[in-house]
Structure 1
Amino acid sequence: MKQFRTIASSLALALGLSVGGPGATSADYQHLDDVIITFSLCVGNDCVNGESFGFDTLRLKENNLRIHFNDTSTSASFPTRDWRIVINDSGNGGSDYFAIEDSDSGRQVFRVDGGAPSNSLYVDSSGEVGVGTSTPVTEIHVVDGDSPTLRLEQNGSSGFTPQVFDLAANEANFFIRDVTNGSQLPLRIQPGADSNAFYIASNNNIGLGTASPDDNLHIIDSSDGYFGITLEDTGATGGTGSWRMVHGGQNTTFRISRAGSGLSELILYEGGNLTIGGTLTTAGSCSVGCDAVFEEGYELPSIEDHAEAMWTNRHLPNVGPTAEQGPMNISDKVGGILNELETAHIYIEQLHREQQASQAQIAYFEERLTRLEQN
């Protein structure tokens, strides 16, 4: 045995290796020069003489496979974190996986479980990432046989209320799913929708059918000459039904109608004419005081003063002048007309009393005259 150790020591020295001292039960070899292995290398308790490497250049072979990157930097200005490549759990019944471990924290920051499908994660030569595909055509390309999905989960670890949303697509639609609240789908886009079906400009204007909205909401429909807005109430309480606002068609009108009635409650024509199917009620007040003419203390002008103002100003005093062109305040105008109408009726009633008084006087004098003639 002593002779064997001497031969081993001589061989180690010839190879430039440092061996353990005499009496050591095992010896670590420290190589003081570069090592070049022409063929393959097997490391581990289960490597055997005549190992069949196939195309492997380096093989780790035993029941607990780890590669440890131990950074021994001591200066405060240098990074010192240790990393480890971990292959499978070491305990009975553990998991099969490949992982990269942050050894200082004991956390596996990257892991691939055994049995993962081909191209679970693929980065091509241009840096594009494929998930489920080896031919990504965008920065991130996700392929799956049924509704490829991106999940966004706030798990509450930072003290905020947990919430989960999914971003997904399939043959029926592209959608956002509110997983936390009953998997509702608040946003859906069906395949085949036109470009700019919904567009938000940099100034927050919204375009429907246009990429250049000129107002807060700008709607363009070039398919059939019509565009419409339907307001539908489907609530369980109160009245239900829907109303439609439609532009287009004959005379390029704008119409408001009760959906399904076949009737238009309001029609606005291109020239500005307006037709309604019922009565018109305004919320405007009578600025001149309509029924105030009947109130005690109201200073009603005399018929003569009223007539003078009317002929001088060439309009009824309480109606005001009417511009030949331009907007007209219908509520104020109608209120003034009502005031003038009520004033006129008071004048008529006054004249009627004067007429009755005159007729009574005429009848009195006629009677006196008749008596005088008889005498």
Structure 2
Amino acid sequence: MTRLAACGLCALGLALPAAAQDTFTSGVTISDSDSAEADLFVTDVSVLDGETCIGNGCVSDETFGSDVTLKLRDATPSLTFIDSSSPPFPDRDWKLVVNDPDSGGLERFSIKDGETGNIPFTVTGGAQESALVLSGSNVGLGTSLPQKALHMVATNSPTIRLELDASALTPRIFDLYLAPGGFVVHDELAGTFPFRVNAEAPTYALSVFGDGEIGIGPSAAAAPLHVQRDDGTARVLVENTGGDPGVAREMFNMTNNGGSYFTLDNTDSGTTWFFNHENAAPNRFIIADAVADGPEMSLSADGVLTVPGGFVVGSTTLNVPDYVFAPEYDLTPLSEVSAFIAENRHLPDVPSAAQIARDGLDMTDMQMRHLKKIEELTLYTLAQEARLEAQAREIADLRKLVETLLE
């Protein structure tokens, strides 16, 4: 064995005798003194052909397995990288730490910043297989074959937690995780689930485009909020399911610093209707079609309703009073009608002014009541006409009788 090899073995903790001080021209110094000087100092290239143990815990009969080449055995084993560069070159020191006693007894392997003392990277004891894998430019968490830049795999709801700790003004904890039903955002402190994407959601189910517009269904939004379906199910539902019952609530609001309108567009028939809050005095509510012939209906703030065209009411429940002309209809004698008017100051079966003031006016019902009175009036008129014709015949007969008597 050469003296250089013997020196290397002594430095590695093997029990070999050494001279008090041997100096070699190759720059190797061996010392067995208890001074602060190193027992082994090498100023040239060193090569150790064999397994090595370094540290106060190494023993002379140290054993090595087939997968071990270098051991660090100590009560607090660590490896320090000291950069002797000078500024402006990087010169920060780093340390590999195992079971750092400052961690409170935590079993871990860590990288420690030699300047700040911070530990930016740690692997704790018992970490699962493939807990962190770097493959090419991909990072795997729980998988040894990451397929994306960050690929997380777990058997039960893989989760990413975002937390503002107790030192923050308002602590917050949000979990982003994959559940059997889909992707979920969970507010841990509030116990709510403010956002969810169910599994098998369709393409473009929800999109926020570069200009800030939101699409629910379309591949490109044509409005700040664009809802589109191609199966006949497109609709918007606003539903309140809580709060005090029986309370009126605003459920839809359109606010503008001028006029406003919404459009009903039938792409099949090519017809369009506009429901418009007029932009100029008297600021009427207007319903109009796409033909530039003026509004089809307008309502002023004073309650004046204007319909340039006709007004048609139709319903299978309308009780049209054609029954007045039935032979069995009991037409009220005019004497009774006269007595009713004298007592009540309005027609029978017609609401009084006080009733209308209290209950409002049902235009359809009033139209039917008016029609009934017109038909009854027609019957009264026909009856009167029959009596007049009978009287005329009687007068003619009396004239003939008088003329005969005078001859």
Q: Give the TM-score normalised by the residue count of structure 1.
A: 0.60
Q: 1:329 to 1:35 in 2, by over 3 A?
A: same
Q: 1:160 to 1:91 in 2, by over 3 A?
A: closer
Report whether the alignment pairs 1:35 with 2:46: yes
Equivalent residue in structure 2 for 1:226, among 215, 218, 233: 233
Q: Deviations over 1:135-170 (max 9, x none)?
A: 11110011112111111112264x542222111111
Q: Which residue identity does 1:58 align to in structure 2?
A: L
Unaligned runs of 5+ in 1: 1-5, 246-253, 256-266, 275-279, 288-322, 339-375
Partner Cα distance (1:335, 1:208) in 2 = 40
- Would you say the 8 A contact 1:20–1:27 is kept in 2? yes
Q: Which residue identity does 2:64 align to in structure 1?
A: F
Q: What's the counterpart of residue 201 of structure 1?
A: 209
Q: What's the counterpart of residue 163 of structure 1?
A: 172
Q: Deviations over 1:221-268 (max 9, x none)?
A: 223x232221211132244899x99xxxxxxxx79xxxxxxxxxxx99
1:14-29 counterparts in 2 under 5 A? 16-20=27-31, 28-29=39-40
1:315-354 counterparts in 2 under 5 A? 325-328=292-295, 330-331=297-298
Q: Which residue identity does 2:298 align to in structure 1?
A: S
Equivalent residue in structure 1 for 2:224, among 198, 216, 221: 216
Equivalent residue in structure 2 for 1:89, among 100, 122, 131: 100
- Would you say the 8 A contact 2:297–2:305 is kept in 1? no
Q: 1:331 to 1:60 in 2, by over 3 A?
A: same
Q: Give the TM-score normalised by the residue count of structure 2.
A: 0.56
Report whether the alignment pairs 1:178 with 2:187: yes
Report whether the alignment pairs 1:56 with 2:68: yes
| Greater length-normalized contact order (CA 8 Å, ≥ 6 residues apart) | 1
1:1-375 counterparts in 2 under 5 A? 8-9=19-20, 12-13=23-24, 16-20=27-31, 28-54=39-65, 55-73=67-85, 75-90=86-101, 94-124=105-135, 126-155=136-165, 157=167, 160-180=169-189, 182-223=190-231, 225-239=232-246, 270=269, 272=271, 325-328=292-295, 330-331=297-298
SS at the partner of 1:204? coil
Partner Cα distance (2:305, 2:36) in 1 = 120
Q: 1:236 to 1:24 in 2, by over 3 A?
A: closer
Q: 1:116 to 1:273 in 2, by over 3 A?
A: closer
Partner Cα distance (1:324, 1:133) in 2 = 65
SS at the partner of 2:24? helix
Unaligned runs of 5+ in 2: 1-16, 253-263, 283-289, 308-407
| Percent identity for Structure 1 against Structure 2 | 30
Partner Cα distance (2:291, 2:221) in 1 = 35
Partner Cα distance (1:8, 1:119) in 2 = 50
Partner Cα distance (2:163, 2:34) in 1 = 61
The structural deviation recorded for 1:330 is 2.9
Q: Which residue identity does 2:126 align to in structure 1?
A: G
- Would you say the 8 A contact 2:26–2:44 is kept in 1? no
The structural deviation recorded for 1:273 is 8.6
Q: Which residue identity does 1:228 align to in structure 2?
A: R
Q: Which residue identity does 2:224 align to in structure 1?
A: N
